[in-house]
């Protein structure tokens, strides 16, 4: 089971297998991306100048062993235009990032992506959405065919960065509720994917 938690801020010295940063299409960096750019002596600016940064919504790019960053992997995810960055855009970006983290077999993930204004996404919804999107990224169809069994996911923890002490209570409550919702969704998907000769009314009962 994946463990969820929050941290008050983000610094490039933070320990994680993979840090996820959001990149807007605008030329200036903000938040955690600005901190990483400073720690790497302008590495993100260089990538932007060469056209190698993901800025379109949901695009991802993995950077390895950045100097000045403790985490061995930094995953950049495009957030699109800042003026259009709302809840739906955030969900699309986070879904793409978490799916990549699962695929790349990262064990401990730190999410340092900016979120929309509180009018679009409050603290409770932030936690609940992260837990639900993680569950979606982890879900695998219960295939009954014989053959090679898929490896279990390496993901063991997801932390949300830049959550202040006053926000932690609502975010963690959202995380707990999101995990419960995700478990129910996984059960429904399993039942829906089972063949009719197995998932009979008696089986459901």
Q: Per-domain residue ranges for the chain?
A: 3-142+150-204
* Rg of the chain over all Cα atoms, to the nearest angstrom: 18
* Alpha-carbon span 152 to 57, nearest angstrom: 29
* Alpha-carbon span 170 to 80, nearest angstrom: 27
pLDDT tens, position by position, 109-123: 999 999 999 888 999
* pLDDT score recorded for residue 135: 96
Length of the chain measured in residues: 205
* Alpha-carbon span 92 to 96, nearest angstrom: 6
Partners of 8 in the β-ladder = none
pLDDT tens, position by position, 24-79: 999 999 999 999 999 999 999 999 999 999 999 999 999 999 999 999 999 999 99
Among 108-112, 135-139, 173-177, 199-203, whose mean pLDDT is lowest?
Answer: 199-203
| DSSP designation for 119 | T
Q: Which CATH number fits domain 3-142+150-204: 1.10.3720.10, 3.20.20.70, 3.40.220.10, 3.30.230.10?
A: 3.40.220.10
């Amino acid at each position: 089971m994946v463990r969820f938690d929050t941290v008050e801020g983000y610094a490039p010295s933070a320990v994680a297998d993979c840090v996820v940063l959001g990149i807007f299409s605008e030329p200036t960096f903000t938040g955690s991306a600005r901190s990483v750019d400073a720690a790497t002596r302008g590495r993100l600016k260089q990538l932007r100048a060469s056209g190698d940064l993901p800025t379109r919504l949901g695009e991802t790019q993995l950077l390895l062993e950045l100097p000045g960053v403790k985490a061995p992997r930094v995953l950049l995810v495009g957030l699109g235009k800042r003026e259009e960055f709302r809840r739906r855009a955030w969900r699309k970006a986070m879904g793409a990032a978490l799916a990549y983290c699962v695929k790349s077999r990262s064990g401990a993930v730190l999410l340092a992506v900016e979120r929309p204004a509180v009018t679009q996404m409050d603290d409770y919804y932030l936690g609940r959405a992260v837990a639900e999107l993680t569950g979606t990224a982890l879900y695998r169809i219960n295939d009954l065919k014989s053959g090679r069994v898929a490896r279990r996911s390496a993901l063991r923890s997801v932390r949300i960065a830049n959550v202040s002490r006053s926000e932690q209570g609502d975010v963690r409550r959202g995380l707990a509720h999101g995990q419960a919702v995700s478990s129910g969704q996984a059960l429904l998907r399993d039942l829906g994917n089972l063949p009719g000769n197995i998932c009979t009314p008696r089986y459901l009962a």
